[in-house]
């Protein structure tokens, strides 16, 4: 008996080591995120700029109730938010911090309900908490972006329902046009690639429609063709987020290292990160695809922030489950060979669904989300949340390798306790102890809701233990229920949903590659997809598609 236990322990250790070395099994970690409710804004705001100025959190402009632009800003103090009057309105205008520490605000929507554009430029002085009008843009603009050159001049591009070209503000009072752009863009990313050179990247036209384009504009050089951008279009700021170099830089410009991360999305809806160095664009290697859904809802990402000190990138979003989500990518660890680790943070429901808000990185490494909308631009939000995502938080593996060792040890303990008694296969054993009919049907209804409404089967690494945890039941109860109600083991049960999903994709996109269909349907690879499809339908995917 002792020899058997020793052999079992060695075998379990070998399995643990082997699986831990299998990078195809690595996936993201999931952490429950602490969220602190900060004082609400004095005015509900959407289309505002959110920035940390000095050590103060500030919200500039935007529009408030009734979709009316507001000529005000707010600063968060120990007694709450304090209103400051601005010179102009800047609803979806441009905000950029200058080397002097002052904040430049320019342009924005002119009238109620998002109509027109404006010229006005003003500066906010944090020393006096005052605004001063200093000039006007060369072109009326809204939804523009800006970046500061080494000499202090500001390059501006992007527009809304109007012509677009590159212009330059001298940092004091004068702005003039520099050159045309290859295509009008809304809220493009502005990336410094040299002290006096800027790259302009964006995939939304002047009407806000996604127009994937492989062409990148430059301040000095001619347009640059980047084939990867024809497959992955960059995600632009839906909420007026400031899309300048400082929000996405990962290099050290003092050493001449100009490098950035940009969020991007392919035609299938998958989000990833692009690494930009000089004029090179490549996909960041991550340990797994970035999560597009949680156990409760799909995730709508609305903001992107890079923390250079912690070497982490944050995609901030929400779901219809009224939770907030943050996907953190430890980008510097991608060089280790296994891809950058990914962590999905989730909150408890926060009361209302938050869409099109935007986030800012605080000095302590946490994030703040303020304002935005729930359903309508006519009813913006005033809520402010602090999301505790600083790297000191220890992530709990979603399906970490530690669990393999724990399961193996538990198995050995069972062998010791039961003395190696002969046991029937697991499915036969659970059949001896069925659930009560009512309990089984209620649990099956909850399982079906997770499958049909939350589509958890699209998670390629989904395990029965994960489903059980989501539902607050044991894995044995899950097994009993699925077997009792469907007559199928869990794997077959999940694969039926995946195959049905694949059928829908193939009907809608008959030219789609099977490998893409497999991954989009929750299969780990094309081979497992082919086998499951054939086992369930009696046909290969191509044979099935030919009969439609």
Are 122 and 86 a contacting pair, CB within 8 Å? Answer: yes
Residue 435's pLDDT is what?
A: 57
Secondary element (H or E) of residue 283: strand 280-283
Residue 2's pLDDT is what?
A: 41
Classified as helix, coil or strand, 489 is coil
**Tokens 């979003």 -> residue:** 317
Mean pLDDT by 10 residues, the chain (548 residues): 40 37 58 94 95 94 96 95 97 93 95 95 96 94 93 93 92 88 91 93 88 89 91 73 77 89 92 91 94 91 93 94 95 83 94 85 94 90 94 48 42 43 34 58 87 82 77 84 87 90 89 83 83 90 89
Determine how β-strand 29-32 pairs with β-strand 342-346: parallel
Sign of CA dihedral 85, 87, 91, 93: negative
- In sequence order, what DSSP letters do the residues of 330-341 get, joined into one string? -GGGGGGTT-B-
Identify the bridge partners of residue 190 per DSSP, sorted by sequence position: 200
- Angle, CA of 377, 155 and 167, to the nearest 5°: 90
Identify the bridge partners of residue 360 per DSSP, sorted by sequence position: 368
First vs last C-alpha separation in the chain: 59
Are 194 and 258 a contacting pair, CB within 8 Å? Answer: yes
Phi, psi of 116 (to 5 degrees): 75, 180
Identify the bridge partners of residue 225 per DSSP, sorted by sequence position: 215
Tokens matching residue 181: 């752009």
- In sequence order, what DSSP letters do the residues of 156-183 get, joined into one string? EE--SSS--EEEEE-SSS-EEEEEE-SS
Burial 261-285 (b: 16+ CB within 10 A, else e): bbbbbeeeeebbbbbbeeeebeebb
Tokens matching residue 393: 């938080």
Classified as helix, coil or strand, 528 is helix
Tokens matching residue 372: 């935005």
Cβ partners under 8 Å of residue 203, min gap 6: 185, 210, 211, 212, 213, 229, 233, 234, 236
Residue 474's pLDDT is what?
A: 85
Half-sphere exposure (CA, 13 Å, Cβ side) for 223? 14
Sign of CA dihedral 163, 168, 170, 176: negative
- Options 3.20.20.80, 1.10.260.40, 2.40.30.30, 1.10.10.60; CATH for 423-546 is 1.10.10.60
Burial 468-501 (b: 16+ CB within 10 A, else e): bbbbebeeebbbbbbbbbeeeebeebbbbbbbeb
Half-sphere exposure (CA, 13 Å, Cβ side) for 497? 21
Structural domain boundaries in the chain: 44-224, 423-546
Identify the bridge partners of residue 303 per DSSP, sorted by sequence position: 316
Considering only the C-alpha atoms of the chain, give the largest distance between any 2 of them, rounded to a whole number of Å: 87
Residue 469's pLDDT is what?
A: 78
| CATH architecture classification, 44-224 | 6 Propeller (2.120)
Residue 434's pLDDT is what?
A: 52
Cβ partners under 8 Å of residue 92, min gap 6: 47, 62, 108, 109, 114, 142, 143, 160, 240
Classified as helix, coil or strand, 139 is strand
Residue 424's pLDDT is what?
A: 35
Residue 426's pLDDT is what?
A: 31
């Amino acid at each position: 008996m002792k020899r058997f236990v020793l052999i079992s322990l060695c075998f379990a250790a070998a399995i643990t080591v082997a699986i831990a070395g299998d990078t195809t099994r690595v996936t993201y970690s999931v952490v429950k995120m602490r969220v602190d409710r900060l004082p609400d804004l004095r005015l509900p705001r959407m289309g505002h700029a959110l920035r940390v100025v000095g050590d103060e959190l500030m919200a500039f402009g935007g529009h408030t109730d009734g979709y009316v632009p507001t000529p005000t800003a707010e600063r968060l103090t120990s007694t709450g938010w304090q209103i400051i009057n601005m010179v102009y309105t800047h609803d979806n205008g441009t905000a950029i911090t200058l080397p002097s520490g002052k904040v430049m605000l320019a342009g924005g929507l002119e009238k109620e309900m998002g109509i027109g554009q404006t010229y006005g430029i003003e500066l906010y002085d944090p020393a006096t908490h005052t605004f001063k009008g200093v000039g006007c843009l060369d072109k009326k603009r809204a939804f523009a972006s800006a970046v500061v050159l080494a000499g202090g001049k500001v390059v501006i591009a992007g527009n809304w329902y109007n012509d677009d070209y590159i212009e330059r503000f001298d940092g004091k009072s004068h702005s003039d046009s520099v050159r045309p752009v290859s295509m009008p863009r809304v809220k493009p990313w502005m990336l410094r690639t040299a002290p006096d050179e800027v790259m302009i990247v964006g995939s939304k036209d002047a009407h806000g429609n996604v127009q994937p384009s492989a062409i990148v504009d430059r301040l000095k050089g001619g347009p640059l063709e980047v084939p990867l951008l024809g497959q992955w279009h960059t995600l632009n700021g839906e909420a007026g987020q400031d899309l300048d170099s400082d929000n996405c830089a990962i290099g050290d410009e003092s050493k001449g290292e100009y490098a950035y991360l940009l969020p991007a999305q392919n035609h299938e809806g998958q989000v990833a990160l692009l690494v930009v160095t000089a004029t090179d664009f490549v996909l960041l290697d991550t340990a797994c695809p970035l999560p597009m859904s949680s156990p409760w809802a799909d995730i709508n990402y609305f903001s992107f922030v890079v923390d250079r000190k912690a070497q982490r990138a944050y995609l901030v979003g929400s779901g219809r489950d009224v939770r907030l989500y943050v996907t953190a990518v430890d980008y510097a660890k991608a060089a280790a060979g296994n891809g950058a680790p990914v962590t999905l943070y989730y909150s408890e429901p926060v009361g209302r669904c938050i869409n099109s808000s935007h986030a800012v990185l605080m000095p302590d490494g946490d994030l703040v989300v303020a304002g935005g909308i729930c359903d309508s631009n006519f009813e913006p939000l005033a809520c402010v949340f602090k999301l505790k995502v600083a790297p000191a938080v220890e992530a709990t593996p979603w399906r970490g390798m530690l669990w393999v060792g724990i399961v193996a040890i538990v198995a050995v303990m069972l062998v010791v306790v039961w003395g190696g008694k002969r046991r029937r296969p697991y499915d036969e054993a659970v059949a001896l102890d069925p659930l009560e009919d009512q309990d089984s049907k209620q649990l099956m209804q909850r399982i079906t809701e997770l499958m049909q409404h939350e589509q958890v089967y699209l998670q390629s690494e989904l395990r029965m233990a994960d489903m059980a945890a989501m539902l607050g039941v044991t894995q044995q109860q899950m097994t009993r229920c699925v077997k009792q109600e469907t007559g199928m083991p869990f794997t077959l049960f999940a694969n039926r949903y995946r195959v049905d999903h694949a059928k829908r994709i193939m009907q809608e996109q008959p030219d789609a590659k099977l490998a893409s269909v497999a991954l989009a349907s929750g299969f780990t690879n094309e081979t497992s997809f082919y086998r499951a499809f054939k086992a369930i339908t009696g046909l290969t995917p191509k044979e099935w598609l030919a009969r439609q």
